[in-house]
Structure 1
């Protein structure tokens, strides 16, 4: 059991003919059951061709009809990425994973509004995220497969590199991961910490969770408040940006402290008050989790 994806998931790559799309599709196909999972690519100009044996279709809808795929991963450049997300939504896929960084906020506002209008059943992960992985089954995205190991700890993170850090620590400690989910750092994104926590809470194969957040925005606080009353499994928390100066825009588009409750210290305080064990040292995440199991 895993959340969102498993070895039987069928995946479409949107943007399969670009350099990034080709490289990561190849890497994902080489990981675990990837060759069976990645069944289609989409590029309207290259329909009828194939990429290393993966057929390319003109539209997501057609790719879904021909292959039965339920998930897409998007490597389309920023200018066209919002339209690519909407194409996946309109094809009624279960999940669209957008890796693209630098999508204009205004475009993402339109995506969000359109998804609400359609009352869309499609879940969106990202944009500006590393994707997600269920170790030894399937990886969809840009994370290095070799650091992962099958286990019973869930990881959810706004930061790509810190996801890898938490995963590597869990692997080194012999704990492994049930699934690791990168939700991305943009101000307007799809799945939030709270959504992924709910999935891990319901997953019989996850025993505990590492939740990694960043400064800016209310997401981590919302998740902590939900977890206080509902989460049946222990959580370890870390917030990146303890030393960030207020009012200064940081690397991730979403990481801007607007005041008060969205600093790292304020978030850590709320998390602790909600029963989440936190650390201010990212190299201690794995050890702290092991200590509470």
Structure 2
């Protein structure tokens, strides 16, 4: 993982609506955006950033790129990501949502072979507070600190970051793994990254109903993670039997080992409780649980 202030960042889809809006925010936050790629716009500059038609051309001019942030349309995302991988970029953040599942399968196969980290799709990206922004997180909600925040959600990630910030608890990193049916990096992968990160003292995991990623994360935490983890699951009051969530991801429980209620808030909460992981009932409870995990005095 190379998410440091001097990391060199490329924006693919800089001329797309979201790319044109958020690239200046990323640069203003201190992100080292060295180039953009938007076919047909090569030779132009955008907020002082040179724009190229191809990733290969960009690299030949500006040099090595550490991370690409992709804003292109869903049906162009696979080609954009594969182009970045072919050019040697090994960290890719997919802001785009609605990428066809088979395209993601193809991308993840290539990413596995090349050891490329994929974040997203349907993700606001990554923020290292006070250092760099890779995506669309509202930077004003975050402040530097030692709480690692990983989430499936987008806006809920911002809300919890703000709760932590207002409680005087800064964050080491904020990551949304994405809300589409098939995503790149997983909760266990990021749990391991943050467990090894010297700037992270406690991890807050934000899940939601649908799928089994939170149950898998609970198993993994119990087996492999040494740092304290706090969990929060959104969707406690969602009606049972109705497919909800970013991707309608409640899967057929009959093929899962987690039980017949897989995908529900209760299933996820019970999985964390079995792993002895504190679970907040509301976002507002998370700061106190973090303080307790860090053995800090409670605020009155």
TM-score (structure 2 length as normaliser): 0.90
Establish whether residue 108 from structure 1 lines up as the match of residue 104 from structure 2.
yes
Task: Verify the 8 A CA contact 1:64 1:70 in the aligned structure 2.
Answer: no
Q: Secondary structure at the match of 1:8?
A: coil
- What number of residue pairs does the alignment pair up? 286
TM-score (structure 1 length as normaliser): 0.92
Establish whether residue 277 from structure 1 lines up as the match of residue 278 from structure 2.
yes
Q: Which digits, 9 at most, give the CA deviation of each residue in 1:158-190, with x for residues without a partner?
A: 001111111111111111001111111112111
Establish whether residue 227 from structure 1 lines up as the match of residue 247 from structure 2.
no
Establish whether residue 144 from structure 1 lines up as the match of residue 138 from structure 2.
yes
Establish whether residue 166 from structure 1 lines up as the match of residue 160 from structure 2.
yes
Q: Secondary structure at the match of 2:175?
A: strand
- Give the deviation of 1:66 after TM superposition: 2.7
Give the one of 33, 36, 50 matched to 1:38. Answer: 33
Matches within 5 A, 1:1-293: 4-31=2-29, 33-34=30-31, 37-67=32-62, 68-116=64-112, 119-253=113-247, 255-256=249-250, 258-259=252-253, 260-293=261-294
Q: Secondary structure at the match of 1:143?
A: coil
Q: Secondary structure at the match of 2:276?
A: coil
Q: Which digits, 9 at most, give the CA deviation of each residue in 1:80-120, with x for residues without a partner?
A: 1122122222222120000011222232223223434xx02
- Give the deviation of 1:4 after TM superposition: 4.1
2:298 aligns to what?
Answer: none
Task: Verify the 8 A CA contact 1:48 1:57 in the aligned structure 2.
Answer: yes
CA distance in 2, matches of 1:99, 1:249: 24
- Give the deviation of 1:272 after TM superposition: 1.3
Q: Secondary structure at the match of 2:79?
A: helix
CA distance in 2, matches of 1:49, 1:248: 49
Gaps in structure 2 of 5+ consecutive residues: 254-260, 295-300
Q: Secondary structure at the match of 2:216?
A: helix
Task: Verify the 8 A CA contact 2:202 2:293 in the aligned structure 1.
Answer: no
CA distance in 1, matches of 2:59, 2:212: 35
Q: Secondary structure at the match of 1:44?
A: coil
CA distance in 1, matches of 2:56, 2:231: 39
CA distance in 1, matches of 2:66, 2:38: 17
Range moving further from structure 2, 140-149 or 88-97: 88-97
- Give the deviation of 1:147 after TM superposition: 1.2
Task: Verify the 8 A CA contact 2:250 2:262 in the aligned structure 1.
Answer: no
Gaps in structure 1 of 5+ consecutive residues: none
Q: Which digits, 9 at most, give the CA deviation of each residue in 1:110-133, with x for residues without a partner?
A: 3223434xx022110000001011
Q: Secondary structure at the match of 2:262?
A: helix
2:258 aligns to what?
Answer: none
- Give the deviation of 1:251 after TM superposition: 4.3
Q: Which digits, 9 at most, give the CA deviation of each residue in 1:147-166, with x for residues without a partner?
A: 11110110000001111111
